[in-house]
Amino acid sequence: MNSVGSAVMLAGAVSSLVLGVLITAHHLTSARRRSRREREAQRLRPLVFRLLSDPGVLPELVALDRRAWAAVEPTVISLLGNVSGAAREPLVDLLTHRGVLDSARRGLRARRARVRVEAVHVVGLLRSREDLPRVVSLMRDSRPEVRVAAARTLGGLADARGARPLLGGLSCSRPVPPHVVAHSLLALGTAAHPVIVDALRHPHATVRAVAAEVLGFGGVVAAFPLLVRLLREDAELPVRLAALRALARTGTPATAAVLIGFVGRGSPDELRIAAAEALGALGDPAAADTLGFLLAEEPHRLAHNASRSLLRLGDHGRDILARVAGGSLGPAAAVHAIEALAWNQITHERLAAAARGHT
């Protein structure tokens, strides 16, 4: 090998060695920095927890130098997300005095998506309702993680003005996942119900379905006629299923009468299966005879759900299962009835054994 080749190889080896040393030094420096920060955080955490019951320590925390605050700020923010009521107030005051809200507001306009996500999360934790318009604008962000964070923050702000933007996030060109929107709408409470009820008439199927699901957890009484109409007339099966689930949560005899009308052969199988399960949850004995006949029906899940629902209807339901198990509706129905009764017996025996074990 000539001298030029040897020199090139030597230079490469030296460069690799230098690079390795630099990387090692960087890791060691970073580890020492993390260790110092953690020690500082441990020292200050008791003071942060004292703040929850003694606002008098607020000035001491506000006066921390930049390094000490950087160490303890994550603790304050994490704690804020896990407390409620009056305990929040001193933490909010502390973060506001330290300029965290102002920094988050600047972060909402940052170029990096990660910074926008963190900023909108802090705005939500601080429940800064005056920043709602800017949070709404992030519902149209080009990055999906930012849109999701904005939707969650709209729920955290607990301001009914966020209901329409949340629903709008379901039908735009850059949508937010339905479960995220539904969770935030629920967080808005009853003040958002008028907007959600109105969304049952929305031209977009996903909007109608999410509105129905949310109303099923509260506000369904006012929306009852609209939900029944969706169940009967909507062109989209997911919307009809959402309406059925919402109605099933009312627990009223009127609902059982409606759902009985959808377990027959004229309804789609998915709707029949869901209705058979919902009738058991409602617990109305008036549905027992209808459920009994479903044990001889296809598909399998329909008969299975009907058998489990009969168990939930008490003695009348079990009497029907016993008759069907004896062959009154044929061998296929008998299999479902026998299985349900056996499962019921095993469950009771396990519960009894567990009760004996605690006595």
* Cα 134 from chain centre: 23
CATH number, domain with residue 331: 1.25.10.10
- Given a cut of 50, whether residue 28 has pLDDT beyond it is no
Contact 283, 255 (CB under 8 A): no
In a domain, 358, yes or no: yes
Residue 176 has pLDDT above 90, yes or no: yes
* Host domain of residue 289: 251-359
pLDDT(161) > 80:
yes
Give domain status of residue 288, yes or no.
yes
Number of folded domains that form the chain: 1
Cis peptide bond upstream of 46, omega within 30: no
Comparing 56-65, 260-269, 294-303, 311-320, the range with the smallest average pLDDT is 56-65
Residue pLDDT, tens place only, 307-346: 999 999 989 999 999 999 999 999 999 999 999 999 998 8
Helix, strand, coil shares, percent, the chain, to 5: 80, 0, 20
> Does residue 334 contact residue 308 with C-beta atoms inside 8 Å?
no
354 in any annotated domain:
yes
Rounded to whole angstroms, the Cα distance separating 183 from 341 reads 37
Within a domain: 216: no
Angstrom CA distances, 209 to 121, 163, 203, stand at 27, 15, 11
DSSP 176: P
Residue 311 lies in a domain: yes
Cβ proximity of 349 and 318 under 8 Å: no
264 belongs to a structural domain: yes
For 333, the token pair is 């129905």
Res 12: pLDDT: 57
Please indicate, yes or no, if residue 139 is contained in any of the structural domains: no
Position 204 in a domain: no
Average pLDDT, rounded, for the chain: 87
pLDDT tier at 27, thresholds 50, 70, 90 = low
Q: In this predicted model, what pLDDT tens digit does every residue of 29-81 receive, in sequence order?
A: 554 555 555 676 677 788 778 888 888 888 988 888 888 888 888 888 888 88
pLDDT the model gives residue 348: 83
> CB–CB of 133/164 below 8 Å?
no
Which pLDDT belongs to residue 251? 73
